[in-house]
Structure 1
Amino acid sequence: MANRPTAEFRRYDAAQIARFFRFQPWRPAWRAIKILVVFLSFILGLQIDSVMGRETGSQQARAEQIRKILTDLGPTFIKVGQALSTRPDLIPPDFLGELIKLQDQLPPFSNATAFAIIERDTDRAIDEIFAEISPNPIAAASLGQVYQAKLYSGEEVAVKVQRPNLKPVMMLDLYLMRWFAKQLGWLLPLNLGHDLTLIVDEFGIKLFEETDYENEGRNAERFEANFKDDPNVKVPKIYWDYCSRQVLVLEWIHGVKLTDTEAVKARGLDQDAIIQIGVTAGLRQLLEHGLFHADPHPGNLFALEADPASRTGISGRMAYIDFGMMDQLEEPMKETLVDAVVHLINKDYEELAQDFVNLGFLTKDTDIRPIIPALESVFDEVMGQSVGDFNFKVVTDKFSELMFDYPFRVPAKFALIIRSVVTQEGLALSLNPDFKIVEIAYPYVARRLLSGDSENLRRRLLEVLFKGGKFQWHRLENMIKIAQADGDFDVLPTAQLGMQFLMSEDGAYLRRLIVLSLTEDNRLHTEEVARLWALVKNDVKPDKIAGAAWNALLQFSTASAAGLIPAAISTLTRNQPGG
């Protein structure tokens, strides 16, 4: 084991890494000393600036210093810097500008080394593979660098080559981080509810996966398959004939960084529309597909012109170019996330507390009764008078306070989810300081519930619309208003799905509830119906109504139709006084 090359560690295994360094204790010791020295020198410099009264004048120099420190320490620390570079609400502007450079402006390694890796892994000479290749890398990131090339078949491609000798430094850093988490994690002002090493292990697993470019290529193809019906999301094609664990050849994306506002405007792209595409795509990953991009920093996201073949009316698309750090949510967790959003919309804090139990933020034996008022206080405060006042960063801050008083914990998998959502919100805030993530998230969720055709989504919609057996007219109005804020929402297909469900056998219980609701309190609820009609009348055209009704009837049998009439009469009769 002592002489085992680190290259053989293809997957993260904390126990194997610990055994490896048990025979070489001087290596983690020297690495720990180096890390402590550079950070202590930085902190000392900040203290001297404060004592000398020169904080403002030296801030740029200190920002450059921390960028260089993170760069010198290698990929693990660069990843930390990249995450911080997406938080303009946390990081001062001078420091933010320097940290952004960590996304793709890192020092490259030699071209000779890069080309040697390509030739070794493909067993072909460079000029046998590429008709053209840039003499120097176009970009250099934490794990590799990228060249622009052209295949003999004419396609323009990006050639991603991994940095040599990544594993030894990564293993050292992860070993030290895990040791710190295990031995000293209790000193941190956190209440995670479980061993901090679980979060370090989750990070280690994902970091090791990022060093496998074949895995990244497979992730890209899975991601592309999930968005094949969305012309607003672009995923580059993978050219497998030239790929290996350390070399990835993929379609070249002719786009501009989302953060390059001038270039976005010069191309005539709608920056707010691009933001909406990105946030909606993120929601679809979490709530529909389960496979989500866990590292959506600006270096991985590009804006480009709309696909000429599409007719979305949106002047632009968003392209993802890096699929190394991905994760998968299982179906029960996706459904619980939708539940949590529904219960948040409804302000059903008792159900929301139970969602936190189901998601693993609270243990199953937790008494949630004292937590319910705390959740109510937090969400009532952060949501303000409207959903547009909601800010995910504010929620995470408030939850940090709650974790001191209540037994909340952060499940290891959710560390990546939270990082992904916070990163997307931070990116959007850097483009538009007035951006509110829920102004996009709520219309998406409302539209998904209203137009969903699965049993689970119908059940969640019923939870929204009925409470205590009574129809919540105001909730339906609010959901339609929210859904209409999304320009893609069309009320008629939603109505058609509703009609089909109502006419089916499964819709019998709902038919009874609706009839009862219309005649509730011994009166016809014409005012509520009139308000709903006022909301949708502009979207309803006679020809469209006819088409929707016809399509619904095609899905409905004559026998089922005959059964509706006596069922409705029976319900109405039972609802009359003395009935």
Structure 2
Amino acid sequence: MIRSIRNLNRLLTIGRVLARHDALFLLEEMLPLARHLSSLLRGGRPSASTGRPGERLADALTELGPSFIKLGQALSTRADLLGEEMAADLSNLQDKLPPFPATEARQIIEEELGAPLSAHYSSFDDMPVAAASIAQVHFAVTTEGREVAVKVLRPGVEAKFRRDIDLLTWLAEWAELTMPRLRRLKPVETVKTFEDSVTLEMDLRFEAAAAAELAENFLGDDNFKVPEVDWVRTGKRLLTLERVTGIPVDEVDRLRAAGHDPVEILAKAAEAMFNQVFRDGFFHADMHPGNLFIGSQGELIAVDFGIMGRVDQRTRRFLGEMLLGFLSGDYRKVAEVHFAAGYVPSDQSIDSFTQACRSIAEPILGRPLHEISIAKLLGQLFQVTETFAMETQPQLLLLQKSMLVAEGVGRILDPQINMWQLAQPLIEGWMRSNLGPEAKIREAATNVMGSLERLPRLLAETEKTYSMMVNQGLKLHPDTVRHIFGEQRRKSPLSGLLPWVLAAVLAILLITK
């Protein structure tokens, strides 16, 4: 009861802010009185924001603070819910807030390091170079003389986030309870995913670990650089990284003046994106121009590792087969992949889903090569989910958003070249290795090795069973035996050998007893 009262009070505050920016339109479909409610909450005053609905919503979310800025960025991946225009407006949501005082930053640093700031930094710039919703960044020099960037968590942000997450969870629970048609969108699970993502982002040790893992994945690659983590000067609310310098990737004139070829940079960006997603299954999910620089040797330098994405091997194979189906015009294959992965329920019509895939792909893939957007293709595919009761896949939504940002960077560098065309040889090679006959042979070999690794345990269990049969007179009903062996045969072709292995082991035990 107390939780409900607290959340209702917070909801009223949020309602007033949304109404002030004329951004209650999302409720109009569910609540016909929402427009009258908006006018009532504004007190008859004109809207504080103008522009498209998505722009007004972005203004309102910015006023509501850090949690809602992050929520808006998360919603920007949901074109299937909000439409492409609104999702695009939210993707431009600027994660910038006024900086907090340097005295507070210094205090946090000293608390995290358990020592005076001067014990670790010989100089510290009080003016931050960036101030976002979660943290702000200062330049400094360590006592060893190394130039670093120091990221400090915003004071009080954890408590504000917990309060807002409790409200969002409460709303999601009510939505699932009262609106069954929304359950396929997994509102509670989506809020939990959002909570996990931002919780990790607010513990800067996790960001440090993400940077270190990404750097390890690109060890020896001169085309992609990740700043080195200073673990001695890193804690829950503090992250110290090697300071890097470079030209922002979207400043094309400066890049050309420095002797860099934008097409070469685009090729490196395409390769880096491919390697992160398909080779490693671990990708930078916030690679907008402000987080990507070009070094003096033309290398890509990434910063800000608070939002990272993962795709497991199974999902990567799904993506590979789906992309191969789309690019070859085999829409039946695309549909079959969705059904095999369990993304579309088996009671849906595969013929109708095949037709839907064709209707989405043909207008996009029929355009000139440099205008083809794989991210837009995926985005429109997710928009047909309601028709076919396709469950939301948060990891694919984050990937689609990342691909959209990457394509935007590519068009800035050279609007006449498609980055996926540059990455095509890599994608084709990966598909041959992971989806072709060689991959199937490797998978079969892995299954055999797994069975052999389990054999000692199987033998031990068999001996134990034999001992029980001899000493305690344990008997298995014939139907039970048939059921066990029948289940084993259905699991894999190799498991049909298991009854014979068991029989041989029992015979050996009887002979040697």
For residues 190 and 397 of structure 1, the distance between their equivalents in structure 2, rounded to whole angstroms, comes to 21
TM-superposed deviation, 1:276? 3.3
Query: Where in structure 2 are the equivalents of 1:511-530 lying within 5 Å?
Result: none
- Answering whether residue 344 of structure 2 is matched by residue 362 of structure 1, we say yes
Where does residue 39 of structure 1 map in the other structure? Answer: 18
Structure 1 residues 75 and 322, CA, compared in 2 at 3 Å: closer, same or farther? same
Task: Name the CA shift for 1:44/1:360 in 2 (closer, same or farther; >3 Å).
Answer: closer
Deviations 1:334-367, CA, capped at 9 Å, x for gaps = 2222222223333332222122134442135544
Tell me how far apart the structure 2 counterparts of residues 70 and 115 of structure 1 sit (CA, whole Å): 29
- Relative to structure 1, the CA distance from residue 120 to residue 92 in structure 2 (aligned partners, 3 Å threshold; closer, same or farther) is closer
Q: Which of 380, 387, 411 matches 2:393? A: 411
Residue 402 of structure 1, CA deviation = 2.7
In the alignment, what sits opposite 1:179? Answer: 170
**CA 1:437 to 1:405, structure 2 compared with 1: closer, same or farther past 3 Å?**
farther
Cα distance in 1, alignment partners of residues 344 and 87 from structure 2: 34
Closer/same/farther in 2, CA of residues 401 and 372 from structure 1, 3 Å limit: same
Aligned equivalent of 1:196: 187
Q: 2:226 aligns with which of 210, 235, 249?
A: 235
Corresponding residue SS for 2:384: helix
Q: Secondary structure at the match of 1:363?
A: coil
2:139 is paired with a residue whose SS is: strand
- 1:116 and 2:107 are equivalent in the alignment: yes
Q: 1:133 to 1:208 in 2, by over 3 A?
A: same
Could you tell me whether the CA contact under 8 Å between 2:228 and 2:242 is conserved in 1? yes
Q: CA deviation at 1:206?
A: 0.6
Aligned to 2:385, the other structure's residue is in SS state helix
For normalisation by structure 2, the TM-score amounts to: 0.71
Given candidates 305, 314, 320, the residue that maps to 1:338 is 320
Residue pair 2:134, 2:157 contacting (<8 A) in 1 also: yes
The 3 A distance-change label for structure 1 pair 333 and 449 is closer
1:130 to 121, 130, 149: 121
Cα deviation, 1:409-433, whole Å, max 9, x if unaligned, reads: 3223223222222232234345555
> 3-state SS of the aligned residue for 2:13?
helix
CA shift digits 1:481-504 (9 cap, x unpaired): xxxxxxxxxxxxxxxxxxxx9xxx
Are positions 1:425 and 2:407 aligned together?
yes
CA distance in 1, matches of 2:279, 2:183: 28
Task: Work out whether residues 206 and 325 of structure 1, in 8 Å CA contact, stay in contact via their aligned partners in 2.
Answer: yes
For residues 232 and 202 of structure 2, the distance between their equivalents in structure 1, rounded to whole angstroms, comes to 19
The answer to whether the Cα contact below 8 Å between 1:449 and 1:460 also exists between their aligned partners in 2 is no
Matches within 5 A, 1:168-317: 168-184=159-175, 193-306=184-297, 316-317=298-299
Structure 1 246/414 Cα, relative in aligned 2: closer, same or farther at 3 Å? same
Aligned-residue offset at 1:251:
0.4
Q: CA deviation at 1:213?
A: 1.0
Q: Which runs of 5+ in 2 are unaligned?
A: 26-34, 39-45, 443-513
Asked if structure 1 preserves the Cα contact closer than 8 Å seen for 2:343 and 2:391, the reply is yes
CA 1:44–1:420: 2 relative to 1, 3 Å:
closer
Residue identity over aligned pairs, in percent, reads 27
Cα deviation, residue 231, structure 1: 1.2
Check conservation: 2:74, 2:194, Cα contact below 8 A.
no
Residue-by-residue CA offset, 1:374-422 (whole Å, 9 max, x unaligned):
2233223321066544223542453255334323232232232222222
When normalised by structure 1's length, the TM-score is: 0.63
The question of whether the paired residues in 1 share the 8 Å contact of 2:325 and 2:334 is answered with yes
- The answer (yes or no) to whether the contact 1:285–1:291 under 8 Å persists in 2 is yes
Residue pair 1:161, 1:246 contacting (<8 A) in 2 also: yes
- Counterpart of 2:66 (choices 75, 90, 100) is 75
Residues of 1 paired with 2:346 and 2:24: CA distance?
47
| Paired amino acid for 1:33 | L
- 321-330 or 130-139, which deviates more: 321-330
What amino acid is the match of 1:79? K
Alpha-carbon contact 1:133-1:147 (below 8 Å) kept: yes
Match of 2:147 among 147, 156, 162: 156
Residue 102 of structure 1 corresponds to 94
Q: 1:386 to 1:236 in 2, by over 3 A?
A: same
Give the AA of the match of 1:141: A
**C-alpha deviation, 1:449, in angstroms:** 4.4
Contact 2:370-2:416 at 8 Å conserved across structures: no
> CA 1:364/1:223 → structure 2, altered by over 3 Å: closer, same or farther?
farther
Q: CA RMSD in A?
A: 3.9
